[in-house]
A and B are shown apart, each in its own frame.
Chain A
Amino acid sequence: MLKTLSAFAIGLVFGTGIMLSGMANPAKVLNFFDIFGTWDPSLMFVMGGALIVTAIGYRLVFRMGHPLLADGFSLPTRKDLDAKLIGGSAIFGIGWGLSGFCPGGLVPALGLGRMEPVVAATAIVVGMIAVRIVNRLRAATPAASANQA
């Protein structure tokens, strides 16, 4: 219960930060990318503010040894730069540049009661499921998994 309630409260703060920052506003996001047109550099300040707080805060938190309500910190361990990471990120950037919505910007926009965020969110979930289906099919085909290895 405490875990669920605290996650809700943290999501509320995260979403408020996104709304205040302008990340949920596609007009602002697309203008951030439009350096040669109607450039709005505001989003650099979002990344800057979030990074300074997180870089310092993470260091303090990791010194605690373990999180308050969990056994350990769940951190990614991979270090390799593979084609999937770079190709996937490239595709994400294209989608972000077309729609103006990244996942973090989109979720609080859903609370505004407008149609556009619902369209984008549905498409994102369809894309996520498509990758999972393809991954499962590949894992089930011995030839494909051999190729991958």
Chain B
Amino acid sequence: MTEFTPVMSLLGGALIGIATVVLMGIHGRIAGINGIVGGLLTSPASGDWSWRAAFILGMIVSPIAMSAVTGDLPQITVPVEPIMLAVGGFLVGVGTSLGSGCTSGHGVCGIARLSARSIVATLTFMATGLLTVYLTRHVIGG
């Protein structure tokens, strides 16, 4: 069980939205994490590299910055075997590359622009995510 946290989640979502809007307003870029990381896999010589690296670094540092304010590192629970993290992670990398986006790029930026591609992509990955957890928890693992 995890605690239902509607207020914290709404607040966190609003912060994600603010960062997404500011990235577009200052840099003219979509805040799709898969796309931003994907651009880092090209040559660092391209002028595009430094803002991407800085954005990702800011994200990595964020829990440490939070702990400087609150005194504690945020806690997470990973109820998944390492092999499943590796298999799942690989599929996430392949799928987001083929599908040109992830939760942030399609689910937030794309839907906010009412892009049909993003709406279809989001419905698709939400559906297969649900189905996967149903199968692993109630059919195979249940």
Contact = CB atoms under 8 A, between A and B. Distances in A.
A123 B138 contact: no
Contacts of B110: 76
A15 B23 contact: no
Interface string B9-47: 111111111111111111111110110011001000000
A85 interface: yes
Contacts of A69: 26-27
A106 B101 CA distance: 15
Interface in B81-110: 82, 84-104, 106-110
Interface secondary structure of A, over-half rule? helix
Interface secondary structure of B, over-half rule? helix
Interface residues of B, number: 109
Q: Which of A24, A37, A92 has the most CB of B within 10 A?
A: A92
Nearest to B99: A88
Given A58-B112, A109-B76, 19 more contacts: A4-B54, A10-B55, A11-B62, A14-B16, A16-B65, A21-B8, A21-B9, A49-B11, A52-B17, A70-B26, A89-B124, A92-B92, A93-B124, A95-B89, A99-B92, A120-B86, A127-B93, A128-B37, A132-B41
16 contacts: A10-B22, A11-B56, A18-B59, A20-B11, A26-B79, A28-B2, A61-B25, A90-B128, A92-B128, A95-B90, A96-B129, A97-B132, A107-B60, A111-B64, A120-B86, A125-B93
Interface of B: 1-6, 8-31, 33-34, 37-38, 41, 50-52, 54-66, 73-80, 82, 84-104, 106-113, 115-117, 120-122, 124-134, 136-138
